[in-house]
Structure 1
Amino acid sequence: GHRHTSLTVNTTAPQQPVRSFHSRQGRISPLNRDVLQRHQGGLLVSIADVQRHGLQHLVGDRDVVLEIGCGFGEATVAMANADDATVVLAIDVHLRGLARLLRQVDALGLTNVRAVQGDARELLHSAIAPASLHGIRVYFPDPWPKGRHIKRRLLDADFVELAASRLRSGGFIHCATDWEPYAEQMLQVLSGSPAFTNDSSTDDGFTPRPSWRPLTRYESIGLAKGHVVHDLLFTRQ
Protein backbone atom coordinates (compact mmCIF):
# COMPACT_ATOMS: atom_id res chain seq x y z
CA GLY A 1 0.00 0.00 0.00
CA HIS A 2 0.84 3.67 0.17
CA ARG A 3 2.47 3.42 3.54
CA HIS A 4 5.42 1.56 2.01
CA THR A 5 6.25 3.87 -0.83
CA SER A 6 7.67 6.63 1.34
CA LEU A 7 10.29 4.20 2.63
CA THR A 8 11.38 2.81 -0.70
CA VAL A 9 14.88 3.94 -1.57
CA ASN A 10 14.84 5.51 -5.00
CA THR A 11 17.94 4.18 -6.76
CA THR A 12 18.32 7.32 -8.87
CA ALA A 13 18.88 9.44 -5.77
CA PRO A 14 21.29 8.05 -3.19
CA GLN A 15 19.05 9.19 -0.35
CA GLN A 16 17.75 6.99 2.38
CA PRO A 17 14.53 7.61 4.29
CA VAL A 18 15.10 10.32 6.86
CA ARG A 19 13.50 7.98 9.38
CA SER A 20 16.86 6.30 9.79
CA PHE A 21 17.99 9.19 11.99
CA HIS A 22 15.68 8.09 14.77
CA SER A 23 18.34 5.58 15.60
CA ARG A 24 18.32 2.98 18.34
CA GLN A 25 21.18 4.93 19.92
CA GLY A 26 18.76 7.17 21.73
CA ARG A 27 17.43 10.59 20.89
CA ILE A 28 19.30 12.81 18.47
CA SER A 29 19.15 16.54 19.16
CA PRO A 30 17.34 18.73 16.60
CA LEU A 31 20.68 20.41 15.81
CA ASN A 32 22.32 17.07 15.03
CA ARG A 33 19.30 15.80 13.11
CA ASP A 34 19.34 18.97 11.02
CA VAL A 35 23.00 18.56 10.02
CA LEU A 36 22.50 14.86 9.21
CA GLN A 37 19.47 15.57 7.03
CA ARG A 38 21.22 18.43 5.25
CA HIS A 39 24.22 16.33 4.28
CA GLN A 40 22.41 13.08 3.53
CA GLY A 41 23.40 11.78 0.10
CA GLY A 42 26.10 14.48 -0.06
CA LEU A 43 28.84 14.47 2.57
CA LEU A 44 26.95 11.79 4.51
CA VAL A 45 26.67 8.57 2.52
CA SER A 46 25.55 5.04 3.25
CA ILE A 47 27.51 1.84 2.62
CA ALA A 48 24.97 1.16 -0.15
CA ASP A 49 25.82 4.53 -1.78
CA VAL A 50 29.53 3.68 -1.83
CA GLN A 51 28.73 0.21 -3.16
CA ARG A 52 26.45 1.56 -5.88
CA HIS A 53 28.51 4.52 -7.08
CA GLY A 54 32.07 3.58 -6.16
CA LEU A 55 34.62 5.70 -4.34
CA GLN A 56 35.73 7.63 -7.41
CA HIS A 57 32.23 8.89 -8.09
CA LEU A 58 32.06 10.22 -4.52
CA VAL A 59 35.54 11.73 -4.20
CA GLY A 60 37.06 12.09 -7.67
CA ASP A 61 40.69 11.15 -8.24
CA ARG A 62 41.99 12.21 -4.84
CA ASP A 63 43.70 9.82 -2.42
CA VAL A 64 41.27 8.34 0.09
CA VAL A 65 42.09 7.56 3.71
CA LEU A 66 39.52 5.51 5.60
CA GLU A 67 39.17 6.53 9.23
CA ILE A 68 37.46 3.87 11.32
CA GLY A 69 35.70 5.27 14.37
CA CYS A 70 35.92 9.06 14.32
CA GLY A 71 34.83 9.76 17.91
CA PHE A 72 33.69 13.39 17.97
CA GLY A 73 35.60 14.21 14.81
CA GLU A 74 38.39 16.32 16.34
CA ALA A 75 41.31 14.40 14.84
CA THR A 76 39.43 13.77 11.59
CA VAL A 77 38.81 17.46 11.00
CA ALA A 78 42.32 18.56 12.01
CA MET A 79 43.94 16.02 9.68
CA ALA A 80 41.58 16.79 6.78
CA ASN A 81 42.22 20.50 7.24
CA ALA A 82 45.99 19.94 7.12
CA ASP A 83 45.86 17.87 3.91
CA ASP A 84 43.27 19.02 1.41
CA ALA A 85 44.63 16.78 -1.37
CA THR A 86 43.37 13.73 0.54
CA VAL A 87 39.74 12.80 1.18
CA VAL A 88 38.99 11.37 4.62
CA LEU A 89 36.20 8.79 4.58
CA ALA A 90 35.13 8.59 8.23
CA ILE A 91 32.98 5.64 9.27
CA ASP A 92 31.33 5.29 12.66
CA VAL A 93 28.34 3.44 14.05
CA HIS A 94 27.30 6.44 16.15
CA LEU A 95 25.22 9.09 14.42
CA ARG A 96 25.84 11.58 17.21
CA GLY A 97 29.60 11.51 16.56
CA LEU A 98 29.07 11.81 12.80
CA ALA A 99 26.76 14.79 13.34
CA ARG A 100 29.39 16.53 15.46
CA LEU A 101 31.98 15.76 12.79
CA LEU A 102 29.77 17.28 10.07
CA ARG A 103 29.11 20.40 12.14
CA GLN A 104 32.88 20.98 12.37
CA VAL A 105 33.23 20.27 8.64
CA ASP A 106 30.57 22.95 8.02
CA ALA A 107 32.24 25.44 10.34
CA LEU A 108 35.59 25.08 8.55
CA GLY A 109 34.10 24.77 5.08
CA LEU A 110 35.97 21.52 4.39
CA THR A 111 35.25 19.73 1.12
CA ASN A 112 37.47 16.69 1.67
CA VAL A 113 35.53 14.78 4.34
CA ARG A 114 32.83 12.17 3.76
CA ALA A 115 30.95 10.45 6.58
CA VAL A 116 29.48 6.95 6.58
CA GLN A 117 27.32 5.38 9.25
CA GLY A 118 27.81 1.67 9.70
CA ASP A 119 30.24 -1.17 10.25
CA ALA A 120 33.77 -0.78 8.91
CA ARG A 121 34.20 -4.46 8.05
CA GLU A 122 31.02 -4.37 5.99
CA LEU A 123 32.12 -1.21 4.19
CA LEU A 124 35.54 -2.66 3.36
CA HIS A 125 34.15 -6.01 2.36
CA SER A 126 31.20 -4.96 0.23
CA ALA A 127 31.83 -1.41 -0.99
CA ILE A 128 35.57 -0.68 -1.28
CA ALA A 129 37.37 -2.00 -4.36
CA PRO A 130 40.68 -3.87 -3.97
CA ALA A 131 43.83 -1.72 -3.89
CA SER A 132 41.86 1.54 -3.85
CA LEU A 133 42.73 3.10 -0.47
CA HIS A 134 45.76 5.25 0.29
CA GLY A 135 45.51 4.61 4.02
CA ILE A 136 43.48 3.28 6.94
CA ARG A 137 43.44 4.92 10.37
CA VAL A 138 42.14 3.18 13.47
CA TYR A 139 42.52 5.47 16.48
CA PHE A 140 41.37 4.25 19.89
CA PRO A 141 39.04 1.45 18.80
CA ASP A 142 36.87 -0.18 21.46
CA PRO A 143 39.29 -2.37 23.46
CA TRP A 144 36.62 -4.84 24.64
CA PRO A 145 38.66 -5.48 27.80
CA LYS A 146 36.64 -8.45 29.13
CA GLY A 147 38.03 -11.85 28.20
CA ARG A 148 34.79 -13.11 26.72
CA HIS A 149 34.55 -10.02 24.47
CA ILE A 150 38.08 -10.09 23.02
CA LYS A 151 36.78 -11.70 19.84
CA ARG A 152 34.78 -8.50 19.18
CA ARG A 153 37.96 -6.46 18.74
CA LEU A 154 38.30 -5.03 15.26
CA LEU A 155 42.03 -5.66 14.81
CA ASP A 156 42.37 -9.40 14.27
CA ALA A 157 44.08 -11.46 11.57
CA ASP A 158 40.96 -11.49 9.35
CA PHE A 159 40.62 -7.72 9.50
CA VAL A 160 44.31 -7.22 8.70
CA GLU A 161 43.94 -9.46 5.64
CA LEU A 162 40.85 -7.52 4.51
CA ALA A 163 42.59 -4.17 5.09
CA ALA A 164 45.65 -5.32 3.13
CA SER A 165 43.47 -6.28 0.17
CA ARG A 166 41.86 -2.81 0.04
CA LEU A 167 45.07 -0.79 0.40
CA ARG A 168 47.20 -0.09 -2.60
CA SER A 169 50.92 -0.84 -2.58
CA GLY A 170 52.74 1.81 -0.56
CA GLY A 171 49.58 2.61 1.40
CA PHE A 172 49.54 2.62 5.20
CA ILE A 173 47.64 1.44 8.23
CA HIS A 174 48.02 3.56 11.36
CA CYS A 175 46.58 2.40 14.69
CA ALA A 176 46.66 3.93 18.15
CA THR A 177 45.40 2.56 21.46
CA ASP A 178 45.86 3.21 25.18
CA TRP A 179 44.95 -0.37 26.07
CA GLU A 180 48.22 -2.30 26.40
CA PRO A 181 46.94 -5.84 25.68
CA TYR A 182 45.20 -4.56 22.54
CA ALA A 183 48.40 -2.78 21.44
CA GLU A 184 50.23 -6.10 21.75
CA GLN A 185 47.50 -7.87 19.76
CA MET A 186 47.67 -5.21 17.03
CA LEU A 187 51.44 -5.57 16.84
CA GLN A 188 51.15 -9.35 16.65
CA VAL A 189 48.54 -9.50 13.86
CA LEU A 190 50.11 -6.73 11.77
CA SER A 191 53.63 -8.15 12.15
CA GLY A 192 52.25 -11.58 11.27
CA SER A 193 50.95 -10.38 7.90
CA PRO A 194 53.30 -10.75 4.91
CA ALA A 195 51.41 -7.85 3.26
CA PHE A 196 52.79 -5.24 5.69
CA THR A 197 56.15 -3.92 6.85
CA ASN A 198 56.54 -2.16 10.18
CA ASP A 199 57.73 1.46 9.93
CA SER A 200 58.94 1.38 13.53
CA SER A 201 62.58 2.10 14.24
CA THR A 202 62.31 1.19 17.93
CA ASP A 203 63.04 -2.19 19.50
CA ASP A 204 59.50 -2.73 20.76
CA GLY A 205 57.91 -2.39 17.31
CA PHE A 206 55.78 0.63 18.22
CA THR A 207 56.13 4.10 16.69
CA PRO A 208 56.16 7.40 18.62
CA ARG A 209 53.02 9.46 17.90
CA PRO A 210 53.66 11.23 14.58
CA SER A 211 53.27 15.01 14.77
CA TRP A 212 50.46 14.83 12.22
CA ARG A 213 48.21 12.72 14.47
CA PRO A 214 46.49 15.32 16.66
CA LEU A 215 46.05 14.81 20.37
CA THR A 216 42.31 14.51 21.09
CA ARG A 217 40.55 15.45 24.31
CA TYR A 218 39.95 11.76 24.98
CA GLU A 219 43.65 11.00 24.65
CA SER A 220 44.75 13.99 26.76
CA ILE A 221 42.48 12.84 29.60
CA GLY A 222 43.99 9.35 29.39
CA LEU A 223 47.55 10.68 29.36
CA ALA A 224 46.78 12.82 32.42
CA LYS A 225 45.65 9.63 34.19
CA GLY A 226 48.96 7.98 33.30
CA HIS A 227 47.76 5.87 30.35
CA VAL A 228 50.44 4.90 27.85
CA VAL A 229 49.43 5.34 24.22
CA HIS A 230 50.95 3.08 21.56
CA ASP A 231 51.01 4.01 17.87
CA LEU A 232 51.57 1.41 15.15
CA LEU A 233 52.42 2.40 11.60
CA PHE A 234 52.73 -0.24 8.89
CA THR A 235 53.21 0.09 5.12
CA ARG A 236 51.44 -2.06 2.55
CA GLN A 237 54.00 -3.95 0.45
Structure 2
Amino acid sequence: MTEQNQYSEQTSAAEHKRSIRSFVLRQGHMTAAQQRAIDTLWPQFGLDYQPQHVDLNTCFGRDNDKVLEIGFGMGVATVEIAKRLPEKDFLAIDVHGPGVGNLLKLMEEEQAANIRVMRHDAVEVVENMLADGSLGGIHIFFPDPWHKKRHNKRRLVQTPFVAKLLPKLKAGGYIHLATDWEEYAVQMLEVLNGFEELRNSAADYAPTPAYRPETKFEARGKRLGHGVWDLVFVKK
Protein backbone atom coordinates (compact mmCIF):
# COMPACT_ATOMS: atom_id res chain seq x y z
CA MET A 1 0.00 0.00 0.00
CA THR A 2 1.25 3.51 -0.77
CA GLU A 3 0.25 6.79 0.87
CA GLN A 4 -3.37 5.98 0.55
CA ASN A 5 -6.16 4.56 2.52
CA GLN A 6 -7.14 1.84 4.92
CA TYR A 7 -10.36 1.11 3.07
CA SER A 8 -11.29 -2.53 2.99
CA GLU A 9 -14.20 -4.88 2.66
CA GLN A 10 -14.93 -7.07 5.65
CA THR A 11 -17.14 -10.08 4.97
CA SER A 12 -17.64 -13.48 6.53
CA ALA A 13 -20.12 -16.31 6.36
CA ALA A 14 -21.35 -15.40 9.80
CA GLU A 15 -22.34 -11.91 8.71
CA HIS A 16 -25.47 -11.05 6.76
CA LYS A 17 -26.53 -8.31 4.35
CA ARG A 18 -24.82 -5.50 6.24
CA SER A 19 -21.51 -7.30 5.91
CA ILE A 20 -19.68 -4.88 3.65
CA ARG A 21 -17.78 -2.09 5.33
CA SER A 22 -15.49 0.14 3.38
CA PHE A 23 -13.03 0.97 6.13
CA VAL A 24 -11.06 0.17 9.21
CA LEU A 25 -11.37 3.23 11.43
CA ARG A 26 -8.08 5.02 11.96
CA GLN A 27 -7.64 7.92 14.33
CA GLY A 28 -4.08 9.24 14.24
CA HIS A 29 -2.73 12.53 15.49
CA MET A 30 -4.56 15.64 14.34
CA THR A 31 -2.29 18.65 13.94
CA ALA A 32 -3.44 22.10 14.95
CA ALA A 33 -3.54 23.15 11.28
CA GLN A 34 -5.65 20.15 10.32
CA GLN A 35 -8.09 20.77 13.16
CA ARG A 36 -8.32 24.44 12.24
CA ALA A 37 -9.11 23.49 8.64
CA ILE A 38 -11.95 21.26 9.81
CA ASP A 39 -13.28 23.90 12.18
CA THR A 40 -13.25 26.69 9.62
CA LEU A 41 -13.79 24.97 6.27
CA TRP A 42 -16.20 22.13 7.01
CA PRO A 43 -19.29 24.37 6.79
CA GLN A 44 -18.30 25.30 3.23
CA PHE A 45 -16.72 22.12 1.88
CA GLY A 46 -17.78 19.34 4.25
CA LEU A 47 -20.81 17.16 3.62
CA ASP A 48 -22.48 15.38 6.52
CA TYR A 49 -23.96 11.93 6.07
CA GLN A 50 -27.72 11.66 5.69
CA PRO A 51 -29.69 8.47 4.97
CA GLN A 52 -31.38 9.90 1.88
CA HIS A 53 -30.44 10.97 -1.62
CA VAL A 54 -28.53 14.22 -1.90
CA ASP A 55 -28.57 16.50 -4.94
CA LEU A 56 -24.89 16.75 -5.84
CA ASN A 57 -25.48 19.64 -8.21
CA THR A 58 -26.86 21.62 -5.29
CA CYS A 59 -23.90 20.64 -3.10
CA PHE A 60 -21.42 21.94 -5.68
CA GLY A 61 -23.53 24.78 -7.04
CA ARG A 62 -23.23 23.64 -10.64
CA ASP A 63 -24.30 20.89 -13.04
CA ASN A 64 -20.95 19.25 -13.88
CA ASP A 65 -19.71 15.68 -13.98
CA LYS A 66 -19.33 14.27 -10.47
CA VAL A 67 -16.50 11.91 -9.51
CA LEU A 68 -16.57 9.83 -6.31
CA GLU A 69 -13.20 9.14 -4.67
CA ILE A 70 -13.11 6.48 -1.97
CA GLY A 71 -10.11 6.66 0.33
CA PHE A 72 -8.05 9.79 -0.33
CA GLY A 73 -5.35 9.32 2.31
CA MET A 74 -3.85 12.73 3.07
CA GLY A 75 -5.56 14.32 0.07
CA VAL A 76 -2.47 15.36 -1.89
CA ALA A 77 -3.42 13.50 -5.07
CA THR A 78 -7.08 14.46 -4.69
CA VAL A 79 -6.31 18.18 -4.78
CA GLU A 80 -3.90 17.79 -7.68
CA ILE A 81 -6.48 15.85 -9.72
CA ALA A 82 -9.15 18.45 -8.93
CA LYS A 83 -6.79 21.16 -10.20
CA ARG A 84 -6.02 19.20 -13.37
CA LEU A 85 -9.73 18.56 -14.02
CA PRO A 86 -11.42 21.84 -13.04
CA GLU A 87 -14.44 20.98 -15.17
CA LYS A 88 -15.29 18.07 -12.84
CA ASP A 89 -16.51 17.99 -9.24
CA PHE A 90 -15.13 15.52 -6.68
CA LEU A 91 -16.88 13.93 -3.72
CA ALA A 92 -13.99 12.63 -1.59
CA ILE A 93 -14.68 10.14 1.22
CA ASP A 94 -12.34 8.88 3.93
CA VAL A 95 -12.57 8.06 7.63
CA HIS A 96 -9.13 9.20 8.75
CA GLY A 97 -9.54 12.44 10.71
CA PRO A 98 -6.06 13.89 10.05
CA GLY A 99 -6.49 13.09 6.35
CA VAL A 100 -9.79 14.94 6.26
CA GLY A 101 -8.20 17.92 7.95
CA ASN A 102 -5.20 17.83 5.64
CA LEU A 103 -7.37 17.67 2.52
CA LEU A 104 -9.35 20.72 3.64
CA LYS A 105 -6.11 22.53 4.44
CA LEU A 106 -4.71 21.75 0.97
CA MET A 107 -7.94 22.82 -0.68
CA GLU A 108 -7.63 26.23 0.96
CA GLU A 109 -3.94 26.56 0.05
CA GLU A 110 -4.45 25.50 -3.57
CA GLN A 111 -7.85 27.21 -3.97
CA ALA A 112 -9.44 23.95 -5.08
CA ALA A 113 -13.14 24.62 -4.68
CA ASN A 114 -14.45 21.69 -6.76
CA ILE A 115 -14.17 19.16 -3.91
CA ARG A 116 -16.63 18.19 -1.19
CA VAL A 117 -15.38 16.11 1.72
CA MET A 118 -17.07 13.38 3.75
CA ARG A 119 -15.87 11.40 6.76
CA HIS A 120 -18.11 8.36 6.75
CA ASP A 121 -18.43 4.75 5.66
CA ALA A 122 -18.40 4.92 1.87
CA VAL A 123 -20.70 1.90 1.58
CA GLU A 124 -23.50 3.72 3.43
CA VAL A 125 -22.94 6.82 1.33
CA VAL A 126 -23.19 4.80 -1.89
CA GLU A 127 -26.24 2.87 -0.70
CA ASN A 128 -28.22 5.76 0.74
CA MET A 129 -27.01 9.16 -0.50
CA LEU A 130 -26.14 8.73 -4.17
CA ALA A 131 -28.85 8.50 -6.80
CA ASP A 132 -28.51 6.04 -9.66
CA GLY A 133 -26.75 7.60 -12.64
CA SER A 134 -25.44 10.52 -10.58
CA LEU A 135 -21.71 9.88 -11.12
CA GLY A 136 -19.47 10.40 -14.11
CA GLY A 137 -16.54 8.62 -12.50
CA ILE A 138 -15.27 6.61 -9.53
CA HIS A 139 -11.69 6.66 -8.22
CA ILE A 140 -10.24 4.08 -5.81
CA PHE A 141 -6.48 4.52 -5.58
CA PHE A 142 -4.21 2.20 -3.59
CA PRO A 143 -6.76 0.60 -1.27
CA ASP A 144 -5.37 -1.62 1.47
CA PRO A 145 -4.22 -4.83 -0.26
CA TRP A 146 -4.67 -7.03 2.82
CA HIS A 147 -1.81 -9.06 1.42
CA LYS A 148 -2.09 -12.04 3.79
CA LYS A 149 -4.24 -14.66 2.10
CA ARG A 150 -6.49 -15.14 5.12
CA HIS A 151 -7.26 -11.39 5.01
CA ASN A 152 -8.02 -11.17 1.26
CA LYS A 153 -11.75 -11.26 2.04
CA ARG A 154 -11.39 -7.80 3.61
CA ARG A 155 -10.39 -6.15 0.35
CA LEU A 156 -12.64 -3.39 -0.87
CA VAL A 157 -12.61 -4.22 -4.58
CA GLN A 158 -14.76 -7.33 -4.70
CA THR A 159 -17.84 -8.19 -6.71
CA PRO A 160 -20.48 -7.29 -4.06
CA PHE A 161 -19.12 -3.76 -3.59
CA VAL A 162 -18.61 -3.07 -7.29
CA ALA A 163 -22.20 -4.24 -7.83
CA LYS A 164 -23.29 -1.47 -5.45
CA LEU A 165 -21.18 1.13 -7.24
CA LEU A 166 -22.12 0.52 -10.86
CA PRO A 167 -25.76 1.67 -10.74
CA LYS A 168 -24.51 5.05 -9.52
CA LEU A 169 -22.46 5.49 -12.70
CA LYS A 170 -24.17 6.98 -15.72
CA ALA A 171 -23.64 5.47 -19.17
CA GLY A 172 -20.20 6.51 -20.37
CA GLY A 173 -18.97 6.97 -16.82
CA TYR A 174 -15.78 5.27 -15.72
CA ILE A 175 -14.25 3.46 -12.77
CA HIS A 176 -10.50 3.96 -12.24
CA LEU A 177 -8.61 1.70 -9.84
CA ALA A 178 -4.91 1.72 -9.01
CA THR A 179 -2.78 -0.56 -6.86
CA ASP A 180 0.88 -1.30 -6.23
CA TRP A 181 0.17 -4.91 -5.25
CA GLU A 182 0.25 -7.16 -8.33
CA GLU A 183 -1.89 -9.96 -6.93
CA TYR A 184 -4.57 -7.42 -6.00
CA ALA A 185 -4.34 -5.96 -9.51
CA VAL A 186 -5.08 -9.41 -10.92
CA GLN A 187 -8.11 -9.68 -8.63
CA MET A 188 -9.32 -6.20 -9.58
CA LEU A 189 -9.10 -7.07 -13.27
CA GLU A 190 -11.01 -10.29 -12.73
CA VAL A 191 -13.73 -8.53 -10.74
CA LEU A 192 -14.29 -5.75 -13.27
CA ASN A 193 -14.18 -8.16 -16.21
CA GLY A 194 -17.05 -10.00 -14.55
CA PHE A 195 -19.51 -7.17 -15.24
CA GLU A 196 -21.06 -7.20 -18.70
CA GLU A 197 -21.98 -3.54 -18.42
CA LEU A 198 -18.30 -2.54 -18.18
CA ARG A 199 -15.82 -2.20 -21.04
CA ASN A 200 -12.08 -2.22 -20.40
CA SER A 201 -10.41 0.85 -21.89
CA ALA A 202 -7.23 -1.20 -22.43
CA ALA A 203 -6.27 -4.76 -23.31
CA ASP A 204 -5.76 -5.41 -19.59
CA TYR A 205 -4.06 -2.71 -17.48
CA ALA A 206 -4.27 0.89 -18.62
CA PRO A 207 -1.55 3.51 -18.94
CA THR A 208 -1.75 5.86 -15.98
CA PRO A 209 -4.14 8.65 -17.04
CA ALA A 210 -2.57 12.09 -17.20
CA TYR A 211 -4.82 13.38 -14.43
CA ARG A 212 -3.51 10.93 -11.79
CA PRO A 213 -0.28 12.28 -10.27
CA GLU A 214 2.50 10.05 -9.06
CA THR A 215 2.63 10.11 -5.27
CA LYS A 216 5.93 10.21 -3.40
CA PHE A 217 5.22 6.72 -2.08
CA GLU A 218 4.55 5.47 -5.59
CA ALA A 219 7.79 7.02 -6.87
CA ARG A 220 9.72 5.46 -4.01
CA GLY A 221 8.17 2.08 -4.75
CA LYS A 222 9.13 2.31 -8.40
CA ARG A 223 12.72 3.10 -7.44
CA LEU A 224 12.67 -0.11 -5.41
CA GLY A 225 11.41 -2.03 -8.41
CA HIS A 226 7.76 -2.22 -7.42
CA GLY A 227 5.09 -2.03 -10.10
CA VAL A 228 1.90 0.04 -10.23
CA TRP A 229 -1.22 -1.06 -12.08
CA ASP A 230 -4.06 1.18 -13.25
CA LEU A 231 -7.41 -0.14 -14.47
CA VAL A 232 -9.92 2.08 -16.27
CA PHE A 233 -13.27 0.58 -17.22
CA VAL A 234 -16.15 2.45 -18.86
CA LYS A 235 -19.85 1.76 -18.33
CA LYS A 236 -21.59 0.90 -21.59
TM-score, length-normalised on structure 1?
0.84
Q: Against the structure 1 CA distance between its residues 133 and 226, is the aligned structure 2 distance closer, same or farther, given a 3 Å change threshold?
A: same
d(CA) in 2 for partners of 1:230, 1:175: 8
Shift of 1:47: 2.1
- Greater than 4 Å deviation, 4+ residue runs: none
Shift of 1:53: 4.0
d(CA) in 2 for partners of 1:160, 1:94: 22
The answer to whether the 8 Å contact 2:53/2:130 transfers is no
1:171 to 143, 148, 173: 173
The answer to whether the 8 Å contact 2:29/2:98 transfers is no
Shift of 1:41: 3.2
1:235 is matched with 234
* Residue aligned with 2:89, SS: strand
The answer to whether residue 87 in structure 2 is matched with residue 82 in structure 1 is no
Shift of 1:211: 2.0
* Residue aligned with 2:43, SS: coil
2:213 is matched with 214
Shift of 1:26: 4.0
The answer to whether residue 224 in structure 2 is matched with residue 225 in structure 1 is yes
Higher relative contact order (CA 8 A, sep 6+): 2
* Alignment coverage as a number of residue pairs: 211
d(CA) in 2 for partners of 1:219, 1:38: 32
AA of the residue aligned to 2:212: R
The answer to whether the 8 Å contact 2:82/2:90 transfers is yes
2:163 is matched with 161
Q: Against the structure 1 CA distance between its residues 211 and 149, is the aligned structure 2 distance closer, same or farther, given a 3 Å change threshold?
A: same
Query: Is the deviation greater in 106-115 or in 183-192?
Result: 106-115
Compare the two structures and name the one with the higher helix fraction: 1
Query: Is the deviation greater in 227-236 or in 76-85?
Result: 76-85
Counterpart mapping for 1:35-184 below 5 A: 35-48=37-50, 51=52, 53-59=54-60, 60-184=62-186
Q: Against the structure 1 CA distance between its residues 24 and 150, is the aligned structure 2 distance closer, same or farther, given a 3 Å change threshold?
A: closer
d(CA) in 2 for partners of 1:124, 1:211: 27
Stretches of structure 2 that go unaligned for 5 or more consecutive residues are: 1-24
What are the superposed Cα offsets for residues 61-111 of structure 1, whole Å, 9 maximum, x if unpaired?
121101111112121111111121211111111111121111111011121
The answer to whether the 8 Å contact 2:67/2:135 transfers is yes
Structure whose alpha-carbon radius of gyration is higher: 1
Stretches of structure 1 that go unaligned for 5 or more consecutive residues are: 1-22
The answer to whether the 8 Å contact 2:136/2:174 transfers is yes
d(CA) in 2 for partners of 1:77, 1:187: 27
* Residue aligned with 1:235, SS: strand
Q: Against the structure 1 CA distance between its residues 51 and 186, is the aligned structure 2 distance closer, same or farther, given a 3 Å change threshold?
A: same
RMSD of Structure 2 on Structure 1 (CA): 1.6
The answer to whether the 8 Å contact 2:54/2:130 transfers is no
* Residue aligned with 2:165, SS: helix
The answer to whether the 8 Å contact 2:47/2:117 transfers is yes
AA of the residue aligned to 2:58: H
Counterpart mapping for 1:12-23 below 5 A: none
Q: Against the structure 1 CA distance between its residues 26 and 82, is the aligned structure 2 distance closer, same or farther, given a 3 Å change threshold?
A: closer
AA of the residue aligned to 2:75: G
Shift of 1:28: 1.8
